[in-house]
Amino acid sequence: MENKQGESGLKPFVSLILSLKIPKAALILGLLASLITTLIGLVVPLLTRNLVDGFSVESLSMPLIIGIAVAFILQAIINGISIYLLSKVGQRIVAGLRDKMWIRLIRLRVVYFDQHSSGETVSRVVSDTGVVRNLITDHFPNFITGIVSIVGAVTILLILDWKMTLIMLLAVPVTVLIMFPLGRRMAKISRTLQDETAEFSGHVQQTISEIRLMKSSTAEMVEERKGLNGIHQLFKTGMREAKIYAIIAPLMYVVMMAVIVTIIGYGGIRVAEGTMSTGSLVAFLLYLFQIIMPVTTFAMFFTELQKAKGATERIIGILELPLEDGQQGKEMDIAGKALRISGVTFSYETGEPVLQDVSFEAQPGEMIAFAGPSGGGKTTVFGLLERFYEPQKGEILIGDMPIRELSINSWRDQIGYVSQESAMMGGTIRANLTYGLADAEAIPDEQLWTVARMAYAEDFIKEFPDGLDTQVGERGVKLSGGQKQRISIARAFLRDPKILMMDEATASLDSQSEGIVQQALSRLMEGRTTLVIAHRLSTIVDADKIIFIEKGRVTGMGKHSELTASHNLYREFAEQQLT
401-402: strand order across its sheet: 355-362, 339-346, 393-398, 401-402
What is the DSSP secondary structure assignment for residue 19, as one 8-state letter? T
253, amino acid identity? Y
Q: What separation in angstroms does the CA of 440 have from each of 335, 412, 434, 467, 497?
A: 23, 17, 5, 17, 16
Distance CA 505, CA 543 (A): 16
**Contact criterion met (CB below 8 Å) for 184 and 96:** no
- Check if the beta carbon of residue 424 is closer than 8 Å to that of residue 489: no
504 is catalytic: yes
**What are the contacts of 11-14 at 24+ separation with CB within 8 A?**
12/309, 12/312, 12/313, 12/316, 13/308, 13/309, 13/312
Range 149-183 burial, b when 16+ CB lie within 10 A, else e: bbebbbebbeebbeebbeebeebeeebeebbeebb
Within 375-504, strands assigned E span 393-398, 401-402, 415-418, 499-503
Q: What is the DSSP string of 280-295?
A: HHHHHHHHHHHHHHHH
Active-site choice (120, 223, 304, 504) = 504
* Residue 222, number of CB atoms within 10 A of its CB: 12
List, in sequence order, every residue forming a beta bridge with 263; answer none if it has no partner: none
- Residue 386's Cβ-count burial label (10 Å; 0-12, 13-18, 19+) is middle
Q: Which uninterrupted H or E stretch holds 341?
A: strand 339-346
Does residue 416 contact residue 501 with C-beta atoms inside 8 Å?
A: yes
Active-site amino acid positions = 504
